[in-house]
Amino acid sequence: MKVNQLIKFQPILKDKIWGGEKLATLLNKQSTRADIGESWEISDVEGDTSIVVNGELKGQDLKQLISKFKADLVGGRIYDHFGEKFPLLIKFIDAKEALSIQLHPHDDLAKKRHNSFGKTEMWYVMQADEKANLIVGFQKEVTSKEYLEHLENKKLLHILNVDEVENGDVYFIPTGRVHAIGAGVLLAEIQQTSDITYRIYDWDRPNSDGTFRDLHTEEAIDAIDYSAQDSYKTVYSKEQNISSEIVSCPYFTTNVLPINGEVFINHEEKDSFVIYMCVAGSVEFKYEDQIENLEMGETILVPNCVKNIVILSEEKSELLEVYIK
């Protein structure tokens, strides 16, 4: 059975202790709450499965789609490898306050301890307040002993790398890399389907009821990558109406596609679904008789069996294009 439409899903909004208003005010997510930290755009995390909001498939969830359409939806190799589990989790994140300093275990460790995938991810900064920053990696290589000493003495920031960021900055976060999103940053996140996080420092910040979130000091010790890099920011180039690669790893490839005018897209060479996230402006997708508008902060899934689409924008807009090689 062929899936013959472009698919949009209902965002799953997550309130967070560090969340803010930008998902509602800038990305038009419908919420009455003032602490929405994440919008899960496409999710197959247990208990948080995305539901279709458009076309003939409206009301069906992502698990049902994979079960029904299999390789036609996700791609042959992907279906063979992941079965009826969607391999990526797609989010928009608004940090009104800093997130905890954290890291994610690699696949083998996550499988052994949690029966889960690991969590390799990337960030694309959509908006950043003045002097807003991200924590990514160590300033220089440290030992686990040095790390623990700094953690226990509340001096962890002395050895971590902190970058001020602006719109368009990209960071790749492999498993094991210590990281945190700073206050004032709105970003798009692409990651493996996993919700396993080792929280190592949470700014001594209480919950609304006075309790504190759990820390994972012991679990993190043998999951951390203690090495360092000269720079953690991803260098890439943009070309109008051309899809240019930003990040490619075994788990996902992400391209940037700045659009102004009409672009004809052909995915014949791919054996994968393709996800588009609108990170600036607004665009129109055309497939056969179907037309779907995508505003900044919206996401659409192109099934593997849909190979030719047209994307149109009457203003300078920008998409992230995500798939698996």
Reading the block at residue 38, the tokens are: 């994440």
Between CA 26 and CA 166 the distance in angstroms is 16
Reading the block at residue 33, the tokens are: 């709450």
Between CA 159 and CA 82 the distance in angstroms is 38
**Is residue 97 a contact partner of residue 46, using CB atoms and an 8 Å limit?**
no
| Catalytic annotation, pick one of 33, 113, 199, 205 | 199
Which residues have CB under 8 Å from 235's CB, separation 6+? Answer: none
Nearest of 27, 45, 47, 48 to residue 37 by alpha carbon:
27
Active site residue 199: yes
Reading the block at residue 106, the tokens are: 């690699």
Which residue carries 């969590």 as its tokens?
119
Phi/psi class of residue 154: alpha, beta or left (left: φ > 0; alpha: ψ in -120 to 50)?
A: left
DSSP notation for 104-147 = ---HHHHHHHHSS----EEEEEEEE-TT-EEEEEESS---HHHH
**Is residue 306 a contact partner of residue 292, using CB atoms and an 8 Å limit?**
no
Between CA 229 and CA 193 the distance in angstroms is 26
**Is residue 72 a contact partner of residue 1, using CB atoms and an 8 Å limit?**
yes
CA distances to 2, 5, 6, 40, 62 from 55, in Å: 14, 7, 8, 20, 14
**Is residue 303 a contact partner of residue 320, using CB atoms and an 8 Å limit?**
no
Catalytic residues: 199
